[in-house]
Structure 1
Amino acid sequence: MPDLPIMIDLPSQFQLGEWQVDVRQGTLTRTGESVSLPGLSLALLLALARRAGDLVEADVLMAEVWPNQIVTDETLQQRIKLLRKALQDSREAPRYIATVRGRGYRLLERPQALAVQRVAVEPMTAAPTAAIAQATAQVTAISRPRFWPSWRMGMMWLLAGVLLVLAWLSFRPADTREPDPRRLIVLPLTLLSSQTADQVVADGLTDQLIQNLAKTPGLQVIARTTAMSFKHRPRRVAELAAELGVGTVLEGSVRRRAQHLEVTLRLIDARNEQVRWSQRFDGDGRGLLLLEQNIAAEVAAVLGVRLASLPVGQTDEDAYRYYLEGRQRYMRYTAADNAAAQALFRASLVRSPAYALALAGLADATSQAVYQFGAPREQLAEALRYAEAAIAVAPGLAEAHKARGLALDLQGHRKLALESYRRASQLSPNYADALVNEAIVLRDAGRLAEAYQTARRASLLDPLDPYAYLISAQVLMGAGYLQQAGEVLNQVRRHAPDSAITQTIFCGYLVEAAELARAATECQWLTERHADYAPAWNQRGDLAMYRGERPAARTYYQRAAEMGKGDDAAYASLRLALLEPGRPSATLLAEVQSRAAMAPEDAERQYQLALTLAHGQQADAALMALERALALGFSERRALRVDPIWAEFQAQPRFRTLMATLERHLATERQKLAPLLKAGAG
Structure 2
Amino acid sequence: MQYRLLDLGIDTERQRVTRGEDVLPVSGLSFRLLAFLLTQGDRVVGFDELIDQVWAPAVVGEETVTQRIKLLRQAMGDEGRQPRYIRSVRGRGYQLAAMPRIEGEPLPAAPRRRWPWWLAVGVAGMFAAASAAYVWTHRAERTPAPDPRSPLLVRASYYAAIGQRDNNERAIELYTDALNEAPLDRDAMLGLSRAMSARACLYNGDRDDVERGLELSNRLLAIDPVRAAAWSAKGYAQDCAGRIDEAMAAYARAVQLDPADDATRASLAYLHQEKGLLSQALHENLSMRGDGSKVRFREVQIGRELELLGFTANAQMRLERSFRLYPDNVFSNLAWPRSLFLQGRFAQAASELAVAQGRNTPHVELDLLSGELALQRGDRVTAEAAFHHAASLRPLASLPTTLVGIYGPAGVDPAWTAERIDEFNHQSAGGTPWPSQYLELAILELSRNSKPAAVAAINRAIDAGYRDQAYLQVSPLFIKLAGDPGFAHALDRIAADVAHQRAEVLNASWRPPDLPPPSR
Q: How does the TM-score come out when normalised to structure 2?
A: 0.69
The answer on 1:427 being equivalent to 2:257 is yes
| Offset of residue 530 of structure 1 | 3.3
Change beyond 3 A, Cα 1:347–1:32: closer
Within 5 Å, which residues of 2 pair with 1:304-315? none
Match of 2:284 in 1: 454
Change beyond 3 A, Cα 1:265–1:454: farther
**Equivalent position SS for 1:407:** helix
Change beyond 3 A, Cα 1:530–1:334: closer
Where do 5+ consecutive residues of structure 2 fail to align? 38-49, 95-137, 515-520
Change beyond 3 A, Cα 1:412–1:40: farther
| Offset of residue 676 of structure 1 | 3.3
CA contact under 8 A between 1:401 and 1:423: conserved in structure 2? Answer: yes
TM-align CA RMSD? 4.9
| Offset of residue 402 of structure 1 | 0.5
Residue type of the alignment partner of 1:110: Q
CA contact under 8 A between 1:40 and 1:65: conserved in structure 2? Answer: no
The answer on 1:387 being equivalent to 2:217 is yes
| Offset of residue 349 of structure 1 | 4.3
The answer on 1:633 being equivalent to 2:462 is no
Q: Which structure's relative contact order is higher, taking Cα pairs within 8 Å and 6+ residues apart?
A: 1
The answer on 1:657 being equivalent to 2:489 is yes
Q: Which has the higher helix share?
A: 2
**Equivalent position SS for 2:260:** coil
CA distance in 2, matches of 1:504, 1:280: 36
| Offset of residue 477 of structure 1 | 1.0
| Offset of residue 12 of structure 1 | 9.0
**Equivalent position SS for 2:24:** strand
CA distance in 2, matches of 1:461, 1:617: 51
CA contact under 8 A between 2:214 and 2:237: conserved in structure 1? Answer: yes
Change beyond 3 A, Cα 1:40–1:605: farther
CA distance in 2, matches of 1:615, 1:81: 52
**Equivalent position SS for 1:480:** coil
CA contact under 8 A between 2:58 and 2:325: conserved in structure 1? Answer: no
| Offset of residue 39 of structure 1 | 2.2
CA distance in 1, matches of 2:350, 2:200: 33
The answer on 1:33 being equivalent to 2:5 is no
Where do 5+ consecutive residues of structure 1 fail to align? 1-10, 48-60, 90-94, 97-106, 114-118, 121-192, 200-262, 268-278, 290-318
Match of 1:196 in 2: 91
| Offset of residue 485 of structure 1 | 1.7
CA distance in 2, matches of 1:328, 1:80: 19
CA contact under 8 A between 1:29 and 1:35: conserved in structure 2? Answer: no
CA contact under 8 A between 1:459 and 1:469: conserved in structure 2? Answer: no
Residue type of the alignment partner of 1:512: L
How many residues are aligned here?
A: 451
CA distance in 2, matches of 1:339, 1:265: 35
Within 5 Å, which residues of 2 pair with 1:312-323? 320-323=150-153
| Offset of residue 583 of structure 1 | 1.8
Q: 2:189 aligns with which of 359, 377, 386?
A: 359
CA contact under 8 A between 1:541 and 1:553: conserved in structure 2? Answer: yes
Match of 2:246 in 1: 416
CA distance in 1, matches of 2:51, 2:221: 34
Q: 1:396 aligns with which of 226, 229, 232?
A: 226
| Offset of residue 111 of structure 1 | 0.8
| Offset of residue 404 of structure 1 | 0.6
Q: Which has the higher strand share?
A: 1
Match of 2:126 in 1: none
Q: How does the TM-score come out when normalised to structure 1?
A: 0.54
Match of 1:601 in 2: 433
CA distance in 2, matches of 1:623, 1:461: 43
**Equivalent position SS for 2:293:** coil
CA contact under 8 A between 1:592 and 1:609: conserved in structure 2? Answer: yes
Q: Residues 547-594 of structure 1, C-alpha deviation per residue, up to 9 Å, x if partnerless?
A: 4444554465566566x3378x87556444433463257568757876
Change beyond 3 A, Cα 1:62–1:522: same
CA distance in 2, matches of 1:645, 1:439: 28
| Offset of residue 394 of structure 1 | 1.7
Match of 1:112 in 2: 84
Q: Residues 389-415 of structure 1, C-alpha deviation per residue, up to 9 Å, x if partnerless?
A: 222222221110100100111122212
Higher alpha-carbon Rg: 2
Change beyond 3 A, Cα 1:639–1:626: same
Within 5 Å, which residues of 2 pair with 1:335-374? 337-349=167-179, 352-374=182-204
CA contact under 8 A between 2:160 and 2:195: conserved in structure 1? Answer: yes
Match of 2:406 in 1: 578
Match of 1:331 in 2: 161
